[in-house]
């Protein structure tokens, strides 16, 4: 497979990606054109609206695969299509502005809560309160004397990791993101916050594609599809139900938590 060298940049329509369909075609990835690929011959088709759980041992390639959607690492072979468009033909600015990533330890913007949730200032406060309610942070924000004018300190240090993830998810709801990549927090997130995150992902993004980088298999048991990675290759891909029904690596990972 030869890497696509785009002669002409594609300017996608404003609504792209409307479906959130993702196709990896024989993709190999490296962190530098001079380095060996860390992911090789990766093939995966994700239908729009599906929830995908990526799991595998540390270093298996979960982050590398998801970073490639933002072209943070180097696609040295194959191509990645989002809603049918080859992402190497789309400007970095456009590509990165249309996808949402919730990192393990999100950094919030310095500014008010209102600005953090509605960076373009295009929504009214009632819409912001509605999403705060969805992520179960409305009561907490109502308790703040400044409410939506509360100033988030640099990076968001006055919120816990879990609250920062919830605020980023709230922003994704505001933006109606059709492709959301969630890197599950490994830092201490309390059980309640963890449950809220999982519930919101399951119920609020029914028309969006959600890719979860799972550090605990328990978080991806209800996904539509699970991909198990090993040494930069797809080891298993199927529904969690079918993987658990057979003698799979995923089943053994799940059995370890029982
Ligand atoms: N910035 C980088 N530069 C060079 N190699 C990297 C870089 N980041 C990751 N790698 C290498 O890529 C391979 C896959 O790592 P990756 O972080 O994608 O795995 P992972 O499954 O997400 O791991 P973890 O669960 O620990 O986050 C590993 O061999 C790793 O050493």
- pTM for the predicted model, two decimal places: 0.92
At residue 155 the predicted structure's pLDDT band, cuts being 50, 70 and 90, is confident
| Mutation probe of ligand 1 site: the residue of 38, 219, 227 with most atoms within 8 A of C-beta | 38
- Flag whether 244 is in a domain: yes
For the cut 90, the answer to whether the pLDDT of residue 189 exceeds it is no
Answer whether residue 69 is part of any domain. yes
The CATH number covering residue 66 comes to 3.40.50.300
Residue of higher predicted confidence among 155 and 60 = 60
Report yes or no on 59 lying in a domain: yes
Q: Ligand 1 center to residue 3 CA distance, Å?
A: 22
- 235 to each of 41, 173, 215, 249, how far by Cα in Å? 12, 32, 17, 8
**First-to-final CA distance of the chain:** 42
Dump pLDDT digits (tens) for 216-256.
898 899 999 999 999 999 999 999 999 999 999 999 999 99
Question: Which residue has the least CA distance to atom 6 on ligand 1?
Answer: 31
Instruction: Extract the runs of DSSP E, i.e. beta strands, from 125-244.
Output: 151-152, 179-183, 209-213, 225-230, 233-238
The owner of tokens 């890497």 is 3
Asked whether the bond before 29 is cis by omega within 30 degrees of 0, the reply is: no
State residue 183's pLDDT score: 94
* Domain ranges, residue 70: 1-7+18-98+224-258
Q: Is residue 196 part of a domain?
A: no
257 has pLDDT over 70: yes
Which residue among 33, 35, 36, 61 has the greatest number of ligand 1 atoms within 8 angstroms of its CB, and so is best to mutate? 61
Q: Is the dihedral of CA 244, 246, 252, 257 positive or negative?
A: positive
Q: State the total domains in the chain.
A: 1
In a domain, 37, yes or no: yes
| Residue 47 is assigned to a structural domain of this protein | yes
Q: Is residue 251 part of a domain?
A: yes
Which residue has the least CA distance to atom 15 on ligand 1? 59
Distance from Cα 61 to the centre of ligand 1, integer Å: 6
Position 79 in a domain:
yes
- In the predicted model, what is the mean pLDDT of the chain? 93
- The yes-or-no verdict on residue 2 having pLDDT over 70 is no
Atom 30 of ligand 1, residue of closest alpha carbon:
59
For residue range 47-100, what is the model confidence (pLDDT) as tens digits?
Answer: 999 999 999 999 999 999 999 999 999 999 999 999 999 999 999 999 999 999
pLDDT of res. 258: 57
Task: Please report the pLDDT score of residue 1 as a whole number.
Answer: 44
Per cent of the chain over pLDDT 90 is 82
Q: What is the ipTM of this complex?
A: 0.97
Q: Which residues line ligand 1 (CB under 6 A)?
A: 31, 38, 56, 58-64
């Amino acid at each position: 497979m030869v890497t696509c060298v785009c002669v002409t940049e594609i300017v996608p329509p404003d609504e792209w990606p409307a479906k959130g369909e993702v196709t990896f075609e024989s993709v190999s990835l490296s962190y530098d054109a001079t380095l060996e690929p860390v992911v090789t011959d990766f093939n995966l088709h994700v239908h729009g609206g599906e929830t995908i759980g990526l799991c595998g041992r540390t270093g298996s390639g979960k982050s590398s695969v998801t970073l490639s959607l933002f072209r943070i690492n180097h696609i040295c072979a194959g191509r990645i299509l989002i809603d049918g468009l080859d992402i190497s033909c789309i400007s970095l600015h456009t590509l990165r502005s249309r996808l949402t990533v919730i990192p393990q330890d999100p950094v919030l913007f310095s500014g008010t809560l209102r600005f953090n949730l509605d960076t373009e200032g295009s929504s009214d406060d009632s819409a912001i309160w509605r999403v705060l309610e969805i992520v179960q942070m409305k009561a907490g924000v109502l308790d703040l004397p400044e409410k939506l004018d509360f100033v988030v300190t640099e990076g968001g240090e006055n919120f816990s990791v879990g609250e920062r993830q919830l605020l980023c998810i709230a922003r994704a709801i505001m933006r109606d993101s059709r492709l959301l990549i969630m890197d599950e927090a490994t830092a201490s997130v309390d059980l309640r916050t963890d449950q809220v995150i999982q519930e919101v992902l399951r119920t609020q993004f029914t028309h969006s594609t959600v890719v979860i980088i799972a550090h605990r298999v328990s978080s991806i048991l209800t996904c539509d599809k699970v991909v198990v990675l090993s040494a930069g290759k797809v080891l298993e891909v199927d529904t969690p139900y079918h993987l658990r029904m057979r003698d799979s690596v995923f089943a053994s990972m799940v059995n370890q938590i029982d």
